[in-house]
Structure 1
Amino acid sequence: MTKFLTRLADDPRGTAMIETALLLPLFLTLLLGILIYGQYFLLAHSVQQAANDGARAAITGLDAADRRAVAIRAIDRSMRGVGGYRGELRSVLVSETTDAVTVKLAYHVPETSLLHSALVPAPGDIISASATFELPVE
């Protein structure tokens, strides 16, 4: 066995094969990490944009219940383009003061997402965002 390894190490093709065997797992892990964190940043951006859209739409509501309903519809419309989005995975909190409406959105990452990979540690299962818009002055 040692004679085979010595011959393999002396041959340039054998050296390339050994280097590939050592570096390929590291390269694949790095590539998978780039894909996972890329998906996380895309999803985090989408959640923030949905919170912005919800708050922007909520200022048109007539009362608190109407503002919440309008915000949820805007969030669902905004998140529709996100793969695997389901309304039951999000929670929305709409709060208001006399001069502003704040929408807080928490989105639970679906189990089928690449973010649940065991090879690379994921940032988290819940992505949260909030947005505040001022109410129009009457």
Structure 2
Amino acid sequence: MALAHDRRGAAVVELALALPVLLTLLFGILTGGTWLAMSHAVQQSANEAGRAALAGLTQGERATLATNAARTTLAQTYGVAASAVTVTVQDDGQRLTVTTRYDGTANPLLSLPIVPAQSKTIERRATMLLTGL
């Protein structure tokens, strides 16, 4: 009967049961927060690219300005390599749409195998009106 009331080792057993759940929750919070932060940063880079492109006089110049602005914004904000960012500019003379795509497969917090995450590729758009320029 003495073993039935022995509490030695109970904390270790409880920790062994609770730790996987707590770690999964912690890494889920880190992954979700990182994804939200990167999603916001990619949207902001598309917005900045659209604003920068308004200074261009030709479609080619606007595309160059937009691409440089989007990549610079992400590099300065999160240290994202230019190779992980794809910028597409659609310019029909009336509207300028900048699409910024970030490939997060190299980001360790977006690639944790134990946490199901959103897409590792984040794509955001910004549209600017060119009329009246």
CA distance in 2, matches of 1:114, 1:135: 38
2:78 to 75, 79, 82: 82
What is the aligned counterpart of 1:98 among 93, 99, 119? 93
User: Could you list the runs of 4 or more consecutive aligned residues of structure 1 that deviate by over 2 angstroms after TM superposition?
Assistant: 9-17
Question: In structure 2, what is the equivalent of residue 57 of structure 1?
Answer: 52
Q: Say which SS state the counterpart of residue 117 (structure 1) adopts.
A: coil
TM-score, L = length of structure 1: 0.85
Aligned equivalents of 1:11 and 1:37: distance in 2? 42
**How far apart in 1 are the matches of 2:5 and 2:16?**
16
Quote how far apart the aligned CAs of 1:92 are: 1.2
**For structure 2, which runs of at least 5 residues remain unmatched after alignment?**
none
Q: Percent identity?
A: 36
CA distance in structure 1 between the aligned counterparts of 2:13 and 2:130, rounded to whole angstroms: 65
* 2:39 paired with 1:44: yes
Q: Deviations over 1:79-133 (max 9, x none)?
A: 11213x1112211111123322110111111424221111112212211000011
Matched, 1:107 2:105: no
Q: Within 2, Cα distance between the matches of 1:100 and 1:11? A: 75
Partner of 1:124: helix, strand, or coil?
coil
Q: Secondary structure at the match of 2:9?
A: helix
State whether structure 2 residue 128 is matched by structure 1 residue 133: yes
Q: Secondary structure at the match of 1:36?
A: helix
Amino acid in structure 2 at the alignment position of 1:60? A
Q: Tell me whether 87-96 or 26-35 shows the greater mean CA deviation.
A: 87-96
Aligned-CA RMSD value:
2.0
Amino acid of the structure 2 residue aligned with 1:126 = T
Per the alignment, in what secondary structure is the counterpart of residue 55 of structure 1?
helix
**Deviation of the 1:136 alpha carbon:** 4.8
Report the AA paired with residue 67 of structure 1.
Answer: R
Question: How far apart are 1:13 and its partner, in Å?
Answer: 4.5
Equivalences, count: 132
Which of 11, 19, 23 is the aligned partner of 1:16?
11
**Whole-Å Cα distance in 1 between the matches of residues 120 and 44 of structure 2?**
18
